[in-house]
């Protein structure tokens, strides 16, 4: 899909058509990042994974909309359902990308007509623009889909790679990130064709590593898998969220921030649906098409985003391969149950762990504040004697108590006023 998150927002609010729009954290959140940008915003240099601060510096009148992953997931579900009406051989690559094997449903000469029909019907029914690549394997199909945006259709046959693929800058190639690009540049490799035909493969392996060098040269020469993996569809009892990166490379800190946003939106969806999950999975897809997927199963189900983040962060730290740039981060929850059906498996001490206690306390505080209409209750922090004996702490404590007293009196006045006939 073209600018998928932004396109979903525009589909819901047509007044945004033609405007500089981005989906990302609140514009006042200086640590937030942009997850998607419209083509109008991209003309000003706004890109995904860019900080909100930098995006606003480049485009001061940028309209920033906070992510609505439940809405995006619903649009994704609908267009993948549409794909399955065309062929059962569908492989989701991410929330907004997929591969369709149309070998058995369409004659080769009718492939463009089918692509035009798909574009037309998705635009008419869901208001979603998409670009389509037609090729003999998944790598070439993906490269072709990126050649014309928005609403492009590109055929890329193997006999055409010298004409259409090789002249492209090597930076356009899937699998080439910032560090790899620097090494290729040092070797004098500027285009995909120069990579495909590089005469000193031994030097290439020495610079890039054997696995990376082999994969890049193979794909630069038009190679790639043509097998569509239908098992990539998530189980109906799971909820997932993912973010695809462009060809740039990002710091571990930034990737963890993306992961935290993905987990928060996933867990928010679960809370709205009153469900929890026993199993959580982290998927890392690299630009070499290598995929790592690890999961953890809990004794008690949860939808606490902080707890889930700690679990998946640990998996990330253990299994993230710094040798290659990431193409995609995905998180998923499975073995879900309704919260009302939860039966906690207690320990031999018959007590909840600290994170579960924290989760229950947070919800209690939120419910009480919602009931009284004011954020009066706050979560406290346990402090040692060294801090509590400090005079500054005594002043702070007194000030805090005074504020609470004032707020309580204010609430009582409001209640008394409301009770007057």
The CATH code belonging to domain 71-220 is 3.30.70.270
CA–CA dist 415, 411 (Å, integer): 6
Q: Tens digit of pLDDT for each residue in 21-41?
A: 999 877 776 678 898 999 999
CA–CA dist 225, 137 (Å, integer): 6
What is the phi-psi region of residue 100: left when phi exceeds 0, alpha when psi lies from -120 to 50, beta otherwise? Answer: beta
- Residue 153 bridge partners (DSSP): 132
| Domain ranges within the chain, ordered by starting residue | 4-67, 71-220, 235-341, 385-419
Residue 122: count of CB within 10 angstroms of its CB? 20
Q: Is the dihedral of CA 305, 308, 309, 310 positive or negative?
A: positive
Find out whether the peptide bond into 284 is cis, omega within 30 degrees of 0. no
pTM over cut 0.85: no
CA–CA dist 67, 22 (Å, integer): 10
| Residue among 58, 33, 62 at smallest CA distance from 44 | 58
Q: Tens digit of pLDDT for each residue in 147-192?
A: 999 999 999 999 999 999 999 999 999 888 888 999 999 999 999 9
Beta-carbon contacts of residue 84 (< 8 Å; ≥ 6 apart)? 90
CA–CA dist 298, 278 (Å, integer): 5
| Residue among 207, 131, 223 at smallest CA distance from 174 | 223
pLDDT > 70 in the chain, percent: 77
| Residue among 278, 279, 244, 275 at smallest CA distance from 262 | 244
45 pLDDT more than 90: yes
The one catalytic residue in 54, 97, 194, 248 is 97
Of the candidate CATH numbers 3.30.420.480, 3.40.1170.60, 3.40.50.720, 3.40.228.10, the domain formed by 4-67 belongs to: 3.40.1170.60
DSSP string, 351-373: ---HHHHHHHHHHHHHHHHHHHT
97 a catalytic residue: yes
4-67 and 235-341, same CATH topology: no
> How would you class 420 by CB atoms within 10 Å of its CB: exposed for 0-12, middle for 13-18, buried for 19 or more?
exposed
263 pLDDT more than 70: yes
| Alpha helices, DSSP H, located in 221-304 | 252-272
CA–CA dist 77, 95 (Å, integer): 9
366: pLDDT confidence band, cut at 50, 70 and 90?
low
- Is 3.30.1490.100 the CATH classification of the domain at 235-341? yes
**Residue 274 DSSP one-character state:** T
Mean pLDDT of the chain: 82
Q: Tens digit of pLDDT for each residue in 89-126?
A: 998 887 889 999 999 999 999 999 999 999 999 999 99
| Tokens matching residue 56 | 């606003």
Place of tokens 């998530």: 234
Average pLDDT estimate for 337-344: 64
């Amino acid at each position: 899909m073209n600018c998928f998150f932004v396109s979903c927002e525009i589909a819901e609010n047509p007044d945004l058509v033609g405007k500089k729009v981005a989906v990302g954290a609140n514009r006042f959140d200086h640590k937030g990042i942009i997850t998607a940008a419209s083509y109008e915003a991209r003309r000003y240099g706004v890109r995904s994974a860019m900080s909100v601060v930098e995006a606003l510096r480049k485009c001061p009148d940028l309209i920033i909309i906070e992510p609505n992953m439940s809405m995006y997931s619903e649009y994704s579900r609908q267009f993948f359902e549409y794909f399955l009406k065309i062929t059962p051989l569908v492989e989701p690559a991410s929330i907004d990308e997929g591969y369709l094997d149309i070998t058995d449903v369409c004659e080769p000469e009718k492939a463009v007509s089918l692509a035009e029909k798909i574009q037309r019907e998705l635009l008419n029914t869901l208001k979603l623009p998409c670009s389509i690549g037609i090729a003999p394997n998944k790598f070439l199909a993906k490269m072709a889909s990126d050649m014309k945006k928005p609403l492009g259709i590109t055929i890329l046959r193997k006999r055409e790679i010298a004409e259409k693929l090789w002249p492209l800058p090597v930076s356009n190639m899937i699998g080439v990130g910032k560090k790899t690009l620097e090494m290729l540049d040092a070797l004098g490799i500027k285009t995909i064709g120069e990579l495909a035909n590089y005469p000193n493969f031994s030097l290439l392996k020495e610079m890039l590593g054997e696995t990376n060098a082999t994969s890049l040269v193979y794909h630069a020469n038009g190679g790639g898998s043509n097998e569509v993996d239908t098992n990539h569809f998530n189980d109906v009892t799971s909820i997932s969220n993912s973010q695809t990166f462009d060809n740039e490379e990002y710091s571990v800190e930034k990737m963890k921030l993306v992961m935290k946003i993905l987990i928060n939106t996933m867990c928010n969806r679960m809370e709205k649906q009153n469900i929890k999950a026993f199993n959580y999975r982290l998927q890392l897809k690299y630009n070499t098409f290598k995929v790592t997927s690890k999961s953890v199963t809990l004794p008690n189900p949860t939808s606490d985003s902080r707890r889930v983040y700690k679990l998946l962060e640990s998996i990330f730290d253990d299994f993230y391969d710094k040798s290659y740039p990431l193409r995609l981060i995905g998180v998923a929850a499975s073995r879900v149950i309704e919260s009302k059906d939860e039966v906690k498996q207690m320990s031999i001490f018959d007590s909840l762990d600290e994170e579960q206690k924290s989760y229950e306390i947070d919800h209690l505080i939120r419910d009480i504040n919602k009931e009284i209409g004011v954020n009066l209750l706050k979560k406290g922090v346990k402090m040692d004697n060294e801090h509590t004996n400090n005079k500054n702490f005594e002043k702070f404590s007194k000030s805090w108590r005074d504020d609470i007293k004032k707020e309580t009196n204010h609430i009582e006045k409001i209640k008394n006023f409301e009770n007057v006939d």
